[in-house]
């Protein structure tokens, strides 16, 4: 429940921040005729649309499992994460195209000081938003929120690059290099596109792998082994350990081999203990363990000795 609250708070922050960013950039574009700010405004508008989608995605993913979706709705978060990746890659391509067009047909930037101040405000909002959303994403282990936090951070870097570009434009104009100043704006846009493209591709790749039922992260798998090692004297062996994730939920499936003559009560206790330990080690996990009887292929069975796991 607390996780759900964290997530909804993060999405509301994302929505509010994106609205403010859109207003600042739309205001700036009227005064400053800058392609970099126009591209940045485009990013913020799309980010706002993604935040709205994220809001509904988080709401849906918080719904409990039902008869139609027996494993819950967690996977919608991975879909949202992939969407963020696609949107950011699309933006990088569109920005690059527009920057190249402006290099071919250059145009002068008006009121660069206003542009600089607006971009600086965007830097502050984006980095604060990123810090806050990523903090809540870590608490709730939500991939969709993590993607949104990364998105904000990237936007922060974009605005930072644009701010630096405006400083350069002001300096170049004052120094009398007007022709050079014209090219700083599209050059900054191209640089920013390249900066966004790399993490966006990584984000999309990660989301896609999760959608293809990849195993959970390595630290989670080590946690499972750790629990199995802790209970090593309670079971004969284990097999068919499988893990997967859907959004922030982690699923662990496992077969535990127990002595054939163990009582149902004791067998159930062993399974429950292992299950509880895995559950507490991996947040938001659903653990399914099946009891499998031993095949009596050990020395204890062959030599009719007391089974050590029945004690």
Partner 1 sequence: MEISTRKEKDVAVVTVSGRIDAITAPDFEGHLDGLIVQGNKLILINLSGLGYISSAGLRSILSSAKKLKGLSGEIFFTGLQGPVEEVFQISGFQSIFKIFPSEGEALNNF
Comparing CB distances to partner 1, the nearer of 27 and 293 is: 293
Rounded to a whole number of angstroms, the minimum distance from the CB of residue 229 to partner 1 is: 5
Nearest partner of 216 among 189, 252, 181, 192, judged by Cα: 252
Comparing CB distances to partner 1, the nearer of 205 and 230 is: 230
**Helices 2-31 and 112-140 sit at what angle, rounded to 10 degrees?**
170
Rounded to a whole number of angstroms, the minimum distance from the CB of residue 310 to partner 1 is: 13
Q: Which tokens go with 294? A: 């031993």
Residues 152, 134: Cα–Cα separation, whole Å: 9
Rounded to a whole number of angstroms, the minimum distance from the CB of residue 256 to partner 1 is: 11
Is residue 297 within the footprint of partner 1 (CB under 8 A)?
yes
Q: Check: CB of residue 80 under 8 Å from CB of residue 142.
A: no
Residues 42, 265: Cα–Cα separation, whole Å: 62
What is the x/- site pattern for partner 1, positions 78-97, by CB under 8 A? --------------------
Rounded to a whole number of angstroms, the minimum distance from the CB of residue 257 to partner 1 is: 8
Residues 134-163 binding partner 1 (CB under 8 A) are none
Residues 187, 180: Cα–Cα separation, whole Å: 11
Rounded to a whole number of angstroms, the minimum distance from the CB of residue 241 to partner 1 is: 6
Residues 259, 236: Cα–Cα separation, whole Å: 7
Name the one range near partner 1 by CB under 8 A: 109-117, 153-161, 163-171, 292-300: 292-300
In our burial notation (b when 16+ CB lie closer than 10 A, e otherwise), range 184-223 reads bbbbbbbbbbebbbebbeebbebbeebeeeebbeeebbeb
Q: Which tokens go with 71? A: 């494993």
How many residues sit close enough to partner 1 to count as binding (CB under 8 A)? 20
Question: In the chain, helix, strand, coil percent, each to 5?
Answer: 70, 10, 20
* Alpha helix segments (H runs only) across 105-177: 112-140, 143-174
What is the x/- site pattern for partner 1, positions 208-237, by CB under 8 A? -------x--x--xx-xxx-xxx-x---xx
Rounded to a whole number of angstroms, the minimum distance from the CB of residue 246 to partner 1 is: 20
Comparing CB distances to partner 1, the nearer of 226 and 261 is: 226
Rounded to a whole number of angstroms, the minimum distance from the CB of residue 16 to partner 1 is: 41
Backbone phi, then psi, for 141, in 5-degree steps?
Answer: 55, 35
Comparing CB distances to partner 1, the nearer of 175 and 222 is: 222
Rounded to a whole number of angstroms, the minimum distance from the CB of residue 216 to partner 1 is: 10
Comparing CB distances to partner 1, the nearer of 177 and 300 is: 300
Comparing CB distances to partner 1, the nearer of 107 and 240 is: 240
Spatial neighbors of 53 by CB under 8 A, at least 6 apart, are 80, 83
Comparing CB distances to partner 1, the nearer of 83 and 287 is: 287
CA dihedral 65, 69, 73, 79 (to 10 degrees): 170
Residues 237-266 binding partner 1 (CB under 8 A) are 237-239, 241
Is residue 300 within the footprint of partner 1 (CB under 8 A)?
yes
Contact positions vs partner 1 (CB under 8 A): 215, 218, 221-222, 224-226, 228-230, 232, 236-239, 241, 297-300
């Amino acid at each position: 429940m607390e996780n759900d609250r964290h997530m909804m708070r993060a999405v509301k922050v994302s929505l509010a921040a994106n609205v403010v960013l859109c207003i600042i950039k739309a205001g700036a574009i009227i005064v400053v005729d800058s392609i970099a700010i126009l591209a940045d405004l485009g990013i913020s508008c799309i980010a706002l649309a993604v935040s709205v989608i994220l809001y509904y995605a988080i709401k849906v993913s918080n719904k409990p499992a039902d008869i139609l979706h027996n494993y819950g709705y967690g996977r919608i978060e991975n879909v949202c994460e992939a969407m963020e990746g696609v949107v950011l890659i699309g933006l990088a391509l569109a920005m690059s195209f527009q920057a190249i067009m402006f290099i071919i047909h250059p145009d002068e930037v008006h009121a660069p000081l206003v542009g600089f101040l607006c971009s600086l405000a965007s830097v502050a909002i984006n980095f604060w938003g990123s810090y806050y959303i990523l903090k809540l994403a870590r608490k709730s282990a939500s991939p969709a929120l993590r993607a949104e936090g990364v998105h904000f951070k990237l936007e922060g870097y974009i605005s930072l690059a644009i701010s630096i570009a405006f400083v350069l434009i002001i300096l170049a104009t004052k120094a009398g290099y007007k022709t050079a100043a014209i090219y700083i704006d599209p050059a900054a846009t191209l640089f920013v596109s390249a900066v966004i493209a790399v993490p966006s591709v990584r984000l999309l790749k990660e989301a896609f792998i999760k959608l293809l039922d990849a195993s959970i992260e390595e630290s989670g798998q080590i946690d499972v082994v750790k629990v199995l090692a802790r209970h090593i004297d309670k079971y004969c062996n284990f097999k068919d350990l499988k893990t997967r994730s859907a959004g922030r939920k982690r699923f662990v499936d496992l077969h535990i081999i127990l002595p054939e003559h163990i009582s149902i009560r004791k067998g159930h206790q062993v399974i429950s203990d292992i299950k509880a330990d895995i559950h507490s080690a991996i947040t938001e996990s659903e653990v399914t363990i099946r009891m499998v009887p031993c095949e009596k292929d050990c020395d204890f069975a062959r030599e009719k000795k007391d089974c050590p796991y029945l004690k």
